[in-house]
């Protein structure tokens, strides 16, 4: 929602200010300038990035329109799921989790939380961690190092679309200058002709510079930053799982381990201690 509101504010501010200064709105309609800037920028974006990053950038912009990936209730479910896992591990031993880890789609433990069960990357991260604990006989320090490496890789991949769009935003003013230079070339070819026609060519050239800067700082740059913020926020769920499992491996009881995990969440999405406690008691 904020993405749409912010974009509308940018458009209204720029166009409104132009109209209030007695500008002619039709002067800004320069389809050939748009073609030069948009086409060249898109082509450069395809050249600079592998296919998976291009697709991820498209998904990232789509996801911004859908709102937050994990709401407060999702984190309550995640903490509850980790609590169930840790309780089962403590009461029945590590090997009791083997069937759930090998086939999470058929696991009653995971399917008790349908929304999380449909989040394949997160479930795979949880089961991979548990598989290491079940079959690896690892101490907390070894597991922590492995999880840190995996989370760094996950964060790097999640940030790639944002970095790619940021570079695209940096290039847009340059493509605006390209469009402006081509407009000046056309203008120079019209020297000696009708003065009004020369004025239109000069206006079109200047609009090219204007569009490149506006697209860069008003739209693509902010979208890049929004995708980066979202990726950082989504990574909190993985950090939450990591802390819960490491705390349990260090010998803390499930309730304390879940409290450590809860502390990793941002204040906006973090359920309160009382709410989580009441939720867990309700389940029991």
Q: pTM of the full predicted structure?
A: 0.84
Residue 23 within a domain: no
Output DSSP code: residue 179. H
Question: Which pLDDT value is given to residue 111?
Answer: 87
Burial 165-180 (b: 16+ CB within 10 A, else e): bbebbebbbebbbbbb
With respect to residue 98, please indicate whether it lies within any of the assigned structural domains. Answer: yes
Q: Examine residue 51 and state whether it is found in any structural domain, yes or no.
A: yes
Which is nearest to 246 in space by CA: 108, 112, 106, 151?
151
Task: Look up the domain containing 52 and give its range.
Answer: 31-283
Per-residue confidence in pLDDT tens, the chain, 284 aa? 688 889 899 999 999 998 898 888 888 888 888 999 999 999 999 999 999 999 999 999 988 888 788 888 888 889 999 998 888 888 888 788 888 888 888 888 888 888 888 888 899 998 888 888 877 666 778 888 888 888 898 899 999 999 999 999 999 999 999 999 988 888 887 776 677 777 777 888 889 899 999 999 999 999 999 999 999 888 888 999 999 988 988 888 888 898 899 988 888 888 887 877 777 776 55
Q: Tell the burial category of 138 from Cβ atoms under 10 Å away from its Cβ (0-12, 13-18, 19+).
A: middle
The length of the chain, given as a count of residues: 284
* 22 occurs within a structural domain: no
Total structural domains in the chain?
A: 1
Tell me if 9 is assigned to some domain: no
Is residue 267 domain-resident?
yes
The candidate with the shortest Cα–Cα distance to 241, out of 134, 85, 105, 91, is: 85
Q: Collapsing DSSP states into helix, strand and coil, what is residue 190?
A: coil
Spatial separation of the C-alpha atoms in residues 104 and 114, rounded to whole Å: 12
| Residue 230 belongs to some domain of the structure | yes
57 in any annotated domain:
yes
């Amino acid at each position: 929602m904020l993405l749409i509101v912010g974009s509308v504010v940018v458009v209204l501010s720029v166009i409104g200010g132009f109209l209030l200064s007695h500008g002619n709105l039709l002067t800004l309609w320069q389809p050939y300038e748009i073609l030069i800037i948009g086409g060249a920028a898109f082509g450069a974006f395809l050249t600079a990035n592998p296919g998976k990053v291009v697709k991820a950038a498209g998904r990232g912009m789509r996801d911004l329109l859908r709102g937050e990936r994990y709401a407060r209730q999702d984190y309550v479910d995640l903490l509850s799921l980790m609590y169930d896992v840790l309780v089962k591990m403590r009461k029945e031993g590590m090997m009791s989790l083997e069937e759930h880890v090998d086939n999470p789609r058929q696991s009653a433990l995971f399917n008790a939380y349908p929304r999380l069960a449909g989040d394949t990357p997160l479930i795979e991260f949880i089961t991979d961690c548990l598989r290491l604990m079940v079959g690896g006989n690892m101490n907390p320090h070894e597991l922590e190092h492995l999880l840190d490496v995996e989370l760094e890789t996950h964060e790097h991949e999640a940030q790639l679309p944002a970095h790619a769009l940021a570079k695209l935003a940096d290039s847009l003013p340059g493509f605006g200058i390209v469009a402006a230079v081509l407009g000046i070339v056309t203008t120079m070819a019209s020297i000696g002709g009708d003065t009004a026609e020369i004025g239109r060519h000069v206006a079109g050239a200047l609009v090219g510079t204007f569009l490149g800067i506006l697209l860069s700082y008003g739209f693509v740059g902010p979208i890049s930053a929004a995708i980066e913020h979202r990726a950082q926020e989504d990574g909190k769920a993985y950090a939450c799982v990591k802390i819960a499992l490491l705390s349990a491996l260090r010998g803390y009881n499930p309730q304390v381990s879940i409290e450590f995990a809860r502390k990793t969440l941002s204040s906006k999405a973090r359920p309160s201690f009382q709410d989580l406690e009441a939720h867990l008691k309700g389940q029991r």
